[in-house]
A and B are shown apart, each in its own frame.
Chain A
Amino acid sequence: GEDVEQSLFLSVREGDSSVINCTYTDSSSTYLYWYKQEPGAGLQLLTYIFSNMDMKQDQRLTVLLNKKDKHLSLRIADTQTGDSAIYFCAETLHTYSGAGSYQLTFGKGTKLSVIP
């Protein structure tokens, strides 16, 4: 079965790095994602990593994937108050129905609080 685990809370000081961790169970997942949700808003895709990659960097964001341990992390460098939000890790198989739809399994979300 599929299950995605995340710690629920993380608090950091402005300017520090934040590291949000996630573990997943489905080794056949093709893509792994990090979504950000600000209060009262929808989900915004921050970044994703393909399962055959170890690392992906995109400006202040670094994603590390340890496929052996099924561990995914998101590092945010120079964390700002605008980064305060809930961050969801998600995994998906390549195609669910064969018609181009994807079924995501989300973690419970990590609430990041940035202290000015």
Chain B
Amino acid sequence: DTEVTQTPKHLVMGMTNKKSLKCEQHMGHRAMYWYKQKAKKPPELMFVYSYEKLSINESVPSRFSPECPNSSLLNLHLHALQPEDSALYLCASSQGTGNTGELFFGEGSRLTVL
């Protein structure tokens, strides 16, 4: 299984809603990532978890709250978002040290904030 699975594929939410994006991998990878991608732009790193601990937070607003319940799962909790937060949210995972640093990406969750 070389897949990173993200749900939901599409999400529409209002600015007062609370929702979550989910990501799952069963490759035994110990690093997991959230990226945000706006249209016609490259992905921008938001968070990195290494061994289920948050190791990087790229100055992301607190309305985005990541969670790593176990080594296979990564969540992104969303609350009080703004319309400019509409984007494709990509999850990725990597094996860790001693390899080529390849990131395996999911298909993304396309978020629209009304």
Q: How large is the interface on A (under 10, 10 to 19, 20 to 34, 35 or more residues)?
A: 20 to 34
Identify the closest chain A residue to B50 (Cβ).
A99
Given contacts A42-B90, A99-B50, contact A88 B30 (CB under 8 A): no
Of B33, B53, B102, which is within 8 A of A48 by CB? Answer: B102
Q: Is the interface of A mostly helix, strand, loop or mixed?
A: loop
User: Which of A44, A48, A88, A102 is close to B94, meaning CB atoms less than 8 Å apart?
Assistant: A102
Instruction: Return the contact of B45 from the options A44, A100, A103 (Cβ within 8 A).
Output: A103
Given A43-B90, A92-B101, are A100 and B96 neighbors across the interface (CB < 8 Å)? yes
Whether B42 pairs with A109 at a CB distance below 8 angstroms is yes
Q: Which B36-81 residues have C-beta < 8 A from chain A? A: 40-43, 45, 48-51, 53, 55-56
Q: Does A95 contact B (CB under 8 A)?
A: yes
Residues in B whose Cβ lies below 8 Å from that of A94: 97, 101
A102 touches B55 (CB 8 A): no
User: When the two chains form their complex, are residues A96 and B55 in contact, meaning their CB atoms are under 8 A apart?
Assistant: yes
A104 at the interface (CB under 8 A from B): yes
The 10 A-B residue pairs whose C-beta atoms are closest, nearest first, are A100-B96, A99-B50, A106-B42, A101-B31, A42-B105, A102-B101, A97-B55, A43-B105, A100-B97, A42-B107
Interface positions of B (Cβ within 8 A of A) = 4, 6, 30-31, 33, 40-43, 45, 48-51, 53, 55-56, 90, 92, 94-97, 100-108, 110
Q: List 25 A-B contacts (CB under 8 A).
A: A33-B102, A42-B90, A42-B105, A42-B107, A43-B90, A43-B103, A43-B105, A45-B103, A94-B101, A95-B97, A97-B48, A97-B50, A97-B55, A97-B56, A99-B53, A100-B31, A100-B50, A100-B95, A100-B96, A101-B48, A101-B56, A103-B48, A104-B45, A104-B101, A109-B42
Q: Which residues of A contact B (CB under 8 A)?
A: 30-31, 33, 35, 40-45, 48, 50, 88, 92, 94-97, 99-104, 106-109
